[in-house]
């Protein structure tokens, strides 16, 4: 039996997240259905992450096993013709038997887009969070540096997060501006439920004066979700990069 790693991208607007659900269409179900039809067997895929409803992925990986002799190129093109236009397999490669898309992952990078304008942009309606007033990118970038390093992110995960260990390491966090579009880019070894959206929401609250400058350091110590900023909507969030060990020759 061969073990494959597949890279794909998707626009999450029409899906209730990645992970299969009993009462809603998800990316996992769409891909599993397409792969199963192509390979003539029931395929289960294992994703590198669980994205929420409406969240997008420019780079996402999953792994699966099959006895079918079809080559990797055939898997990519044969699956793509069975998928809607908002999901695309980008590559496929055979991996060692022990590789697992989730458990072999060593880190991820997310990007969150904010569009600041009194008038909506029809091309960003499901691809960015719109605010009426401009942001101070310099201030936000300075404040974001307090997230970098190993911290307990209890204040920055959903109240119903079931993880007992809420300590994570953030490698980098930058905020940049191009015209009316602001990019929040954060990379780390792992992320809790809604963590990126709450971190971005907290920075925006600092920009709006609803939280004091320097609040991030205090909130990390407080370990209380009720004290941090709002959870920004999912449509501005993109899983942008996924990191694996060098032994897997990530391309």
What are the catalytic residues?
A: 52
Close Cβ partners of 247 (under 8 Å, ≥ 6 residues apart): none
CB 168 within 8 A of CB 191: yes
Which of 23, 98, 105 has its CA nearest to residue 62? 105
Close Cβ partners of 122 (under 8 Å, ≥ 6 residues apart): none
């Amino acid at each position: 039996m061969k073990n494959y790693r597949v890279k794909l991208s998707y626009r999450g607007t029409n899906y209730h997240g990645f992970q299969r659900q009993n009462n809603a269409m998800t990316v996992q179900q769409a891909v599993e259905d397409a792969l199963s039809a192509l390979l003539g067997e029931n395929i289960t895929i294992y994703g590198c992450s669980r994205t929420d409803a409406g969240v997008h992925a420019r780079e996402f990986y999953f792994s699966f096993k099959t006895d079918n002799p079809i080559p990797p190129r055939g898997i990519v093109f044969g699956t793509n013709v069975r998928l809607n236009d908002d999901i695309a397999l980008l590559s496929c490669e055979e991996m060692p038997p022990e590789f697992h898309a989730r458990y072999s992952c060593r880190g991820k990078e997310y990007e969150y887009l904010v569009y600041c304008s009194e008038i909506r942009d029809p091309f960003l309606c499901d691809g960015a969070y719109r605010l009426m007033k401009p942001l101070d990118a310099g201030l936000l970038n300075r404040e974001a540096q307090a997230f970098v390093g190993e911290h307990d992110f209890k204040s920055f995960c959903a109240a119903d997060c079931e993880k007992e260990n809420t300590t994570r390491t953030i490698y980098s966090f930058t905020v940049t501006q191009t015209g009316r579009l602001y990019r929040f880019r954060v990379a780390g070894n792992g992320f809790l439920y809604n963590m990126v959206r709450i971190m971005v929401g907290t920075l925006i609250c600092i920009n709006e004066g609803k939280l004091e400058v320097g609040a991030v350091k205090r909130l990390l110590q407080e370990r209380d979700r009720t004290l941090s900023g709002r959870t920004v909507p999912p449509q501005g969030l993109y899983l942008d990069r996924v990191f694996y060990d060098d032994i897997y020759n990530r391309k």
